[in-house]
Structure 1
Amino acid sequence: MRTVLLTLLGVVLLAGLTAWWLHTHERVPREVDMPRIGEARRNPLFALQVALERDGVRVHSRRRLQLLADGARGETVPLAARDTVVLYNDPRTLRSDEVDALLRWVDGGGHLIVRTPPHGLLAKNAPVPLFAELQLLPMGSDRESGCAEVGGLGAPVAEGTATVGDDRSDEGGNDEGRGVLFCGARRFTLVGANPQHSWGDLQHGYVFARIHRGAGSVDVLAELDFLGSDALDRNASFPLAHRVLEPNYRAGTVHLVYAAQMPSLWATLARHSWMAWGPLLLALLAWLWRRMQRFGPQLATPVLERRSLLEHITASGELAYRYGYAHLLYDAARNAFLARLRRRDPQAAALQGEPQLMLLAARFTDVPAAEIRDALLPPFANDHTAFRTRIATLIRLRNRL
């Protein structure tokens, strides 16, 4: 009966807890941004590619331009007359033959979209063959470049700059679609180019210019970050991206080149890793300076006077042995051994003859008893081998006590 009551009480408590949980808690869905994987992770223009495909535009995305046969495989991607090419990376990676081929394709009706070289340690005076052909000049990396405000439908507003696109503005104070772009981007100036549309001025530099060449056009912008996957979630990016792609929109294929060519390892280290290798280089030079003895020709180090006490003792022993005082050297070695033996094993030191030898043999098991017996007896005169053997044995026994 008690078991039944306890079981019923447990069921009631469990039911009450369940009812309280369902009454006080509500299941609410929550969206969690998952990290990008696959092509979305390695392709910064993946969101633009998906948006264009959903809008019915043919899109081809790749890492390299592949306009000319290059390398062992020699694969090329031909460009049609009404295609659009977006070079997302640094235009300095283009070779001279690729620049010539691109401009010939633009003259036939193509639409090319490029950006200025980014700021960096070597960006100020680095040549840009494409900009030289377009008669544009990137401004120095040490110039201050502010932001450009973009209004609705991708039209720029404020700061008295020239506009790209139409002049429509939001009515009723609606700020939807407004944003700020090109903050800190490297602007450019016009050397001899006469763009059809531009955004900027000669004093502060331009952030956009559309230059017509033959049947096509080239769009130069201070940056293309607004086309990246991280920026397309902002309201101002979509309309501006559409206006940049407008000339050949749906007329041909849009080629998204997000890594035109990998820069060299040394250039990458010089531009982006100088904060790491600079201090290491200074530390290496300081270490070499400290280890360096002197500057000038390599001269032999002068021999210094030798004043080693051990050398004096060795020389004194050789002199005493040469003049017949070997017994004194032996007595000194034997007395040193017996003195330490008295400190370590007084019983063995107090004995004489065979009893002492038996205790020493039991203590030094790896030394033959015959060698110990010989070491305790003085050698014959002029017996050099016996003298050296006895001295070496006494020193070894003394060190092991």
Structure 2
Amino acid sequence: MSVPQRHHRPAVHGLPATGAPCTGRAVATVPPARHRVRFTPDLLDPADPALARAGGPPGPRLVVVEARVYELYGRRIHAYLAGRGIDYEVLVLLAHEQLKTMDSVFRVADRMEYVGVSRRGDPVIAIGGGVLTDIVGLACSLYRRATPFVRVPTTLTGLLDAGVGAMAGAADHGRRGNRIGPYRPAAETLLDPAFLATLDRRHIGNGLAEILKVALIKDRRLFELLERHGPVLLDGRFQDRCPGAEVLTRAVHGMLRELRPDPREHRPERLTDYGHSFSPTVEMRALPELLHGEAVCVDMALTTVLARRRGLLDAGQGERILRLMRRLELPVWHPLIEPLTLGEALADTARHREGRRLPLPSGLGRGVFVSDLTISELADSASELRNWAAEERAAGGVRA
């Protein structure tokens, strides 16, 4: 009896013949996330080359400026670029959280196409708050896959949050914030505290909430500086080098130290996610009532009470934190801090961070991760915070 013969197709173009063992190789394609963050006082002084040289040799530039910033600084921006002999185009863009959409991203991409931005040699400059820099960063990351960009944040929140991370930018999607966005860091981020001089008091407080986040979870000295100088910083808008310079420097460096080991967030546990466990859901549902930092502060107030109830903070520490929030003229309560919203926010955060390990303060300037929060515990903490805020309002407290 003849034995059937097994036939194999010959290998074609280097592929193994049919039936042959499959082989493969791991290919590393993700470049390291490198970006430069530096303080650059008097950035719009034509004698200072920092902005002209940021991201590459001087050359043609598309400059995207947030509309309010253009009203305040448009003449100086034009004078700087002309004074440095730069061939440039300016796009003025209205940018706030309700416009943090793909439509805004496409507007930037359309102008990049019109101007003819080079894929590698002509970094786009984004001058504005965190929403503006996020929109431009996302547009640049999508346009021809890798167009460089330079961030010039003009708000305190932008300096501390959107300005220092490796994320290129993001857009909101549906009722969720920052749902669409890659990790493609800016070529450079230039921080000039002089822009803060024209912010209103509420937006200074909004940024102080992000500084308080770093203080509570990483830097007791920073917390004590805020206790001592918080109202002065509100009044002076960080234009006084002492204590404003130390507060800004400690806050920015604290963020960078936390983000540097894991710029692409492969590790879901980061202390600087403190204040961002429940606030993303609350902020999006409260728009436009709450600013970003205000929502973060409400989140931190809730988790301060929760940490005290768990014994991670003593009663005196918990009271110091809540009273500092009041002195910074920040809200500690919002009606959305109720079980249904908190349960949905906890579930969303757990999905985003691959588990329920959330940061909580453990003493002043330290933090721990917990993984066993319950809706019942959150509801009890929310009820206690609501009562505290009501007592403060009755006593004449500020934005309790």
Fold similarity call, TM over 0.5: no
| TM-score range normalised by the length of the shorter chain | under 0.3
Q: Which has the higher contact order (CA 8 A, sep 6+)?
A: 1
Q: TM-score, normalised by structure 2?
A: 0.25
Q: TM-score, normalised by structure 1?
A: 0.24
* Richer in helix (by share): 2
Q: Which has the larger radius of gyration?
A: 1
